[in-house]
Amino acid sequence: MNAVPSGPILCCEDVSREFITERKAVIGTPKKTFTAVNKVSLCIEAGETVGIVGESGSGKSTLGEILGGLREPTLGTVRFRGVALKDMDESQFQQYRKNVQFIFQDPKGSMHPQFRIKQIIEEPLITLKVCPDRAQRQQMVKDMIRQVGLEEETAEKYPSELSGGQCQRVAIARALIVHPKIIICDEPVSALDVSVQAQILNLLKELQQTHEIAYIFISHDIGVVNYMADRIIVMNRGSIVETGTAEQVFHSPVDEYTRKLVASSFAS
């Protein structure tokens, strides 16, 4: 292991992202560009969970994609261990890719329908060149399947044969197998049934303790975010409107919008 510099692992400084739209978003107000994320700065320390709450269109998913390198910001920089993504060379970028993983909202949709579960989990090991040895990779996949609480036979199945909760476990295994420092969870439980939601949340928490991962936990459900996150960021129309600990933000919100959000939740 090379020496890891202390301080935040992942940072973004004043990032903005605009989308060009020609259609009218609201009646009568023609818009040409739409600012999904507006000058957002954010740092993630090792092992912590940052919750991003907001409604659809608040830019929370776009922010997640920018932090994860899936979208380029129109303005601003994203830094991984102090190095801006733009200035990275090939191997540094690969390190960044390896250390920042994703879990998406729709677990089935995030897996190739014609791949077997073992292929799905194995693929990041190949593409990120973590482990060149085939037998060793298969062993790692096997271990991972067990760790996320799936049965061994699952390895041979296709995503369509699994339930939503099982698929989300596979997605977690795929993210975890390359030992990332950060996992960006974009609404990881909102497509799941209520009765399996808790299983996935608890699994994520357990894995965080054993593997020391930081989560960026994006959700519209403040109950879920409150349970998962240490630090919370409330987003509205692309900007951060409030930050603080879960306690502060949800029990004594300062911002008008946060108050509205908390009041409209049924999770009390």
Partner 1 sequence: MDKLIDIRNLTIKTPGGRVLVNRVDLDMEKGEILGVVGESGCGKTLTAKTIINLLPENLSWEADKFEVLGVDYLTAAARVKKALVGDRIGYVPQNTGFYLHPMIKIRDQIADGHILYKKRTPEQALDKATRLVSAVGIRDAPRLLNSYPWQLSGGMRQRVNIAMALMNNPALIVADEPTTALDSTVQKQVVDLFRQVNNDYNTSVLMISHDLGLVKYYCERILVLYAGQVMEEAGAEELFEHPRHPYTKMLIKVIPSLNIKKGEKLHEIPGHVPDLHQAIAGCVFKDRCSYRQEVCGREVRDQTIGSNHIFRCNFDL
Partner 2 sequence: MPNISFRVKKKYHLYGGASLTFLVVLLCLLSYVYMPHGPNDMNLALRFTSPGENPGYILGTDYFGRDIFSRIIYGSRSVLLVCCLAVALGSVAGTLLGAAAAIVKGPLSAVIMRSIDGLMAFPGILLAMMMVAAVGKGQQGAIVAIAIFMVPPFARLVYSLILDSENSLFIKAAKSYGVTRSRLLRKHYLPLLLPRLITQFTACIGAAIMIETSLSFLGLGVQPPHASWGLMLNEARQHFLQYPYLAVVPGLAIALAVLGFNLLGDGLNDLLMRRRS
Give the number of other CB atoms < 10 A from CB of residue 224.
22
For partner 2, the closer CB: 6 or 114: 114
Among 9, 52, 250, 253, binds partner 1 (CB under 8 A): 250
The three-state secondary structure class of 257 is helix
Q: Which listed option, partner 1, partner 2, none, makes contact with residue 102 (CB within 5 to 8 Å by class)?
A: partner 2
Q: Which listed option, partner 2, partner 1, none, makes contact with residue 109 (CB within 5 to 8 Å by class)?
A: partner 2
- Yes or no: say if 245 and 232 are a contact pair by the CB < 8 Å rule: yes
128: contact with partner 2 by CB under 8 A: yes
Rounded-to-integer distance, Cα 246 and Cα 94, Å: 33
CB of 205 to partner 2, least distance (A): 22
Q: Give the CA count within 13 Å in the CB-facing half-sphere of 121.
A: 31
Give me 177's structure tokens.
Answer: 């197998």
DSSP, residue by residue, 158-226: -GGGS-HHHHHHHHHHHHHTT--SEEEEESTTTTS-HHHHHHHHHHHHHHHHHHT-EEEEEES-HHHHH
CB of 148 to partner 1, least distance (A): 14
Among 19, 24, 112, 139, binds partner 1 (CB under 8 A): 24
Tracing tokens 């693929």 back to the chain, one arrives at: 123
Residue positions counted in the chain: 268
Stretch that binds partner 1, among 44-52, 71-79, 80-88, 163-171 (CB under 8 A): 163-171
Stretch that binds partner 1, among 37-45, 69-77, 101-109, 189-197 (CB under 8 A): 189-197
For partner 1, the closer CB: 135 or 194: 194
For partner 1, the closer CB: 69 or 164: 164
Among 33, 163, 179, 256, binds partner 1 (CB under 8 A): 163
Q: How many helices and strands, by DSSP H and E, does the chain display?
A: 9, 10
- Yes or no: say if 28 and 5 are a contact pair by the CB < 8 Å rule: no
Supply φ then ψ for residue 231, to 5 degrees.
-125, 140
32: contact with partner 1 by CB under 8 A: no
5: contact with partner 1 by CB under 8 A: no
257: contact with partner 2 by CB under 8 A: no
Among 9, 58, 99, 102, binds partner 2 (CB under 8 A): 102
- Yes or no: say if 168 and 103 are a contact pair by the CB < 8 Å rule: yes
210: contact with partner 1 by CB under 8 A: no
For partner 1, the closer CB: 85 or 167: 167
> What are the residues binding partner 1 (CB under 8 A)?
23-28, 55-56, 163-166, 193-199, 201-202, 205, 220-224, 226-227, 246, 250-251, 260-268
